[in-house]
A and B are shown apart, each in its own frame.
Chain A
């Protein structure tokens, strides 16, 4: 199963959201 295609760059995430007319699901996590 393909995992979630996480983007780890904020700028890249917003750019992709603009290009694909999507909203962003931002998960602020604790990397531990």
Chain B
């Protein structure tokens, strides 16, 4: 990560401006155990209480790290819960990285966030339609298929 992703200007700007970057050795006896760190790099999104909301493993190229962090931020906002903010983050991921392999999951979670916020099933139908049209090979289409039955 140090040799590629963490020296990328876009990554540096995103991380410094959006998040609090915290770097800890996996061998830390207390924190490594608390977060059950078994491999490196383990990349986590935590809230200010230290609660984990997202985790991913392995090395990322710069162009894939930012969408991964956006997905984690969106999931944290979703859980907190701030579904409006979550939806904005998922929409940002989709708009900025439509071809990233995480974009279909963001489409799904954007629709769910909007549904929870408004209770309008149109958002569930819309997320299925968008996934089927734009990401037909994604497993997220299958996960959203029941929503297609909501159409009248």
Contact = CB atoms under 8 A, between A and B. Distances in A.
A27 B47 contact: no
A2 B25 contact: no
B9 A25 contact: no
A29 B73 CA distance: 20
Contacts, number: 121
Nearest to A3: B12
A28 to B, nearest CB: 4
Contact of A7 (B6, B22, B48, B53): B22
Interface stretch (B32-40, B99-107, B114-122): B32-40
Interface stretch (B13-21, B131-139, B141-149): B13-21
Contact of A24 (B1, B9, B40, B45): B45
Contact of B21 (A18, A25, A28): A25
11 contacts: A1-B9, A3-B7, A3-B12, A7-B20, A24-B19, A24-B22, A25-B21, A28-B37, A29-B26, A29-B41, A31-B27
